[in-house]
Amino acid sequence: MPDAAPLLDLAVPPAERAALDELCARDAALAGIERLAGPLPWRRRPKGFAGLLAAIVGQQISNAAAAAIWSRLAALAPPAPDAERLLRLPEAALRGAGLSRAKIAYARALAEAVASGRFDPESLERMGDDEAIAKLTALPGFGRWTAEIYLLFALQRRDVFPAADLALAASAARLKGLAARPAEPALRALALAWAPARGLAARLLWHHWRFVTSRPAFDP
Residues 136, 100 within the same domain: yes
Total of domains in the chain: 2
Q: From CA 150, how far away is CA 164, in angstroms rounded?
A: 14
Residues 89, 147 within the same domain: yes
Residues 17, 32 within the same domain: yes
Q: Angle between the 14-26 and 198-213 helix axes, to the nearest 10 degrees?
A: 80
Residues 53, 149 within the same domain: yes
Assign residue 120 the CATH number of its domain.
1.10.340.30
List b or e across 7-18, with b for residues whose CB sees 16 or more CB atoms inside 10 angstroms. beeeebeeebee
Give the closest residue to 77 by CA, choosing from 67, 66, 90, 61: 90
Whole-structure pTM value: 0.89
Residues 34, 124 within the same domain: no
Range of the domain at 60: 48-153
3-class DSSP state for residue 125?
helix
What are the tens digits of pLDDT across the range 2-49?
A: 333 344 557 899 999 999 999 999 999 999 999 999 999 999 999 999
pLDDT tens, the chain, 220 aa long: 233 334 455 789 999 999 999 999 999 999 999 999 999 999 999 999 999 999 999 998 888 899 999 999 999 988 878 999 999 999 999 999 999 999 999 999 999 999 999 999 999 999 999 999 999 999 999 999 999 999 999 999 999 999 999 999 999 999 999 999 999 999 999 999 999 999 999 999 999 999 999 876 666 6
Residues 37, 80 within the same domain: no
Strand pairing partners for 43?
8
Q: Do 208 and 24 touch, CB atoms closer than 8 A?
A: no
Assign residue 25 the CATH number of its domain.
1.10.1670.40
* Residue 218 placed within a domain: no
At 5 the pLDDT is 37
* Residue 191 placed within a domain: yes
Strand pairing partners for 44?
7
Give the closest residue to 86 by CA, choosing from 120, 149, 97, 7: 97
Q: Do 54 and 18 touch, CB atoms closer than 8 A?
A: no
Residues 165, 148 within the same domain: no
At 11 the pLDDT is 86
Give start and end residues of each alpha helix (H) in the chain: 14-26, 28-37, 48-57, 63-76, 83-88, 91-97, 101-116, 129-137, 144-153, 166-176, 184-191, 198-213
At 1 the pLDDT is 26
Give the closest residue to 191 by CA, choosing from 219, 213, 171: 171
At 191 the pLDDT is 98
* Residue 166 placed within a domain: yes
* Residue 13 placed within a domain: yes
At 81 the pLDDT is 85
